Amino acid sequence: MAPLPIEIHADIAKASTLPADVYHAQEYYDLQKDRVFARTWQTVPDVARARAPGHVLPFKLLEDCLDEPLVFTRDDGGTAHCLSNVCTHRGALVVEGEGHLKTLRCRYHGRRFALDGSFTSMPEFEGAEGFPSADDNLPSLPLREWGPLAFTALDPTMSFDEWMRPVRERIDWMPVDTFTRHAPTSRDYVIDANWALYVDNYSEEFHIPYVHAGLSDQLDYGAYRTELFDYGSLQLGFAKPGETVFELPPGHPEHGQSLAALYFWLFPNLMLNFYPWGLSVNVVQPLGPARTKVSFISYVWREDLRDKGVGAGLHLVEMEDEEVVESVQAGVRSRLYDQGRYSPKRETGTHHFHRLLARFMSQGAR
């Protein structure tokens, strides 16, 4: 049975939250695969190590969700490409392991491709009419590199520049291209909860004084605020006196203020958390209707500040968030709960997320 269309009232003072079924029904999860995740920008994992010409890196886009076989390549000129990893002959995987290659060759029947995906040769095809054609090339996906990260999309609804613009406008003074990955503080967490509940929790301010006692001691909750933009939101965390803060340049919107953190959420499942020491990326990866993997990836700019300020205790904050999100997952299965209401003051980010998710699910955002 097809899931019912959902509409979230534009006025937060009148709106109700997403129906509980969205967080656990298989029908809604399947709908989100095609209408949400296949139409939005997603991270390409581990590209930082694929820097040399000829380096190939096969991966699955949103593994255990979309499971789309792709391959990241760098051609002889150093240009990066994101290609389908499915042979255009009979559908076998082309690249089956990371390595350095001159060409791509399908081991099933020997079809070859250049590192940009273009067809180069195929044995035993003499006499085939209209061959080769453009359909024999490996499909190429858009690829955008930003700082230490790379992104691609199967059928993006929005342009990458439109999606990323609010981040660039706020942090363009930071040398993100020089940030280096910090392995000791990069790890994966698996949560027994729906991915959207994790985003719900992240995108609102309301729970901070109730769930994060340590963080609340450092942040000025009264000054905390959320800004909305077309495909995401920004939470600005201001520090109490004596805490580590950004050294913001003149002309920055928060210059002269005690800004301790910039928390960006980009629809649907990416968080970019900027601290005076650098960047913590959260990639929220659905594994099923009630199971999620969250990859924390740290990129350090100022090593001397890494253990200071609100960005120092990220593991503890994650444990606190996981407990409450898993509690909500149990609650939304209740026969006595369906929808709640929003705090117009503190849940604008969650309301915005719900409106976007409902729109994408109901209309494919087209």
Rg (CA), the chain: 22
For residue 83, list its beta bridge partners. 71, 140
The pLDDT of residue 1 is above 70: no
pTM, entire model? 0.95
* Share above pLDDT 70 across residues of the chain, in percent, rounded to a whole number: 99
The pLDDT tens digits of the residues spanning 117-130 come to: 999 999 999 999 99
**pLDDT bucket at 329, cuts 50 / 70 / 90:** very high
Q: Go through the domains of the chain in sequence order and give each one's CATH number.
A: 44-146 (2.102.10.10), 156-363 (3.90.380.10)
Closest to 311 in 3D by CA, of 344, 275, 279: 275
**pLDDT bucket at 233, cuts 50 / 70 / 90:** very high
**pLDDT bucket at 2, cuts 50 / 70 / 90:** low
The pLDDT tens digits of the residues spanning 12-67 come to: 999 999 999 999 999 999 999 999 999 999 999 988 888 899 999 999 999 999 99
* Strands of 153-290, DSSP E: 180-181, 187-191, 225-229, 232-238, 259-266, 270-275, 278-288
The pLDDT of residue 365 is above 80: no
How many residues would you count in the chain?
A: 366
**pLDDT bucket at 139, cuts 50 / 70 / 90:** very high
The pLDDT tens digits of the residues spanning 149-175 come to: 999 999 999 999 999 999 999 999 999
> Helices in 234-346 by DSSP H: which ranges?
314-331
**pLDDT bucket at 313, cuts 50 / 70 / 90:** confident
pLDDT mean over 276-302: 96
The pLDDT tens digits of the residues spanning 106-117 come to: 999 999 999 999
The pLDDT tens digits of the residues spanning 79-100 come to: 999 999 999 999 999 999 999 9
Residue 352 and residue 360 in contact, taking contact as beta carbons nearer than 8 Å: no
Closest to 66 in 3D by CA, of 158, 191, 182, 153: 153
Rounded-to-integer distance, Cα 122 and Cα 109, Å = 8
Q: Which two tokens stand for residue 133?
A: 């054609």
Across the chain, what does the average pLDDT equal?
Answer: 95
